[in-house]
C-alpha cells in the first residue's frame, strides 16, 4: 500500500517532468532567437549553422535524458522511490521554469547547456543508477 507521501509524489513527479519536457519542446521551436542573440552583429551563415548544431545537440541530449527518466518511471523501476522522486520534482520544476524564462527573455542558447547539466543530466544519471541497481544488483524488487 502506498503511503500518503508516495501518493502525492508520483503524480507531481509526472507533471513536473511533463512540464519540463513541454518547456524544452518550446525551446526547440524558439531556439533561433537564442542563437541570434549569442552571435556577433555581423555573423555569417556558417556561424549561425554551427551555433544551431550546438543547440540541437543540447536538445538531443536533453531528450535522451527524458527518455531514460521516463523509462525508469513508467517502467516501475523508480516510481515508488521517495528520495529520487523528490530529486526529480525539484530538478524538473526548476529546469522547466529556467527554460521557460529563457524562451520568454530570448536568452543566449548557451545557458541551455547549464540547465541540461544540472536539471536533466543529473536526474537522468541518478535514474540510470537506480535502474541498474534494480536490474543488476536486485537491490529492490521490480
User: What CA–CA distance (Å, rounded) separates 91 from 52?
Assistant: 25
User: What CA–CA distance (Å, rounded) separates 98 from 111?
Assistant: 9
**Share of residues in the chain with pLDDT > 70 (%):** 96
Domain edges within the chain: 4-135
**pTM, entire model:** 0.91
Q: In the structure, how many helices (H) and strands (E) does the chain have?
A: 6, 0
Cβ density class 26-45: b for 16+ within 10 Å, e for less: bbeeebeebbeebeeeeeee
- The predicted structure's pLDDT at residue 141: 61
DSSP letter (8 states) at residue 119? I
Confidence of residue 131 (pLDDT cuts 50, 70, 90): very high
Average pLDDT of the residues in 20-48: 96
Amino acid at each position: 500500500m502506498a503511503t500518503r507521501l508516495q501518493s502525492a509524489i508520483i503524480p507531481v513527479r509526472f507533471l513536473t517532468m511533463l512540464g519540463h519536457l513541454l518547456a524544452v519542446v518550446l525551446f526547440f521551436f524558439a531556439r533561433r532567437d537564442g542563437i541570434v542573440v549569442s552571435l556577433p552583429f555581423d555573423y555569417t551563415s556558417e556561424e549561425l549553422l554551427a551555433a544551431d548544431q550546438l543547440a540541437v545537440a543540447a536538445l538531443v541530449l536533453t531528450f535522451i535524458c527524458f527518455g531514460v527518466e521516463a523509462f525508469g518511471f513508467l517502467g516501475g523501476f523508480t516510481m515508488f522511490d521517495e528520495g529520487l522522486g523528490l530529486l526529480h520534482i525539484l530538478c524538473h520544476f526548476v529546469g522547466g521554469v529556467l527554460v521557460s524564462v529563457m524562451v520568454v527573455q530570448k536568452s543566449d542558447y548557451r545557458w541551455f547547456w547549464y540547465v541540461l547539466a544540472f536539471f536533466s543530466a543529473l536526474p537522468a544519471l541518478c535514474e540510470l543508477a537506480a535502474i541498474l541497481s534494480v536490474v543488476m544488483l536486485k537491490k529492490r524488487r521490480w
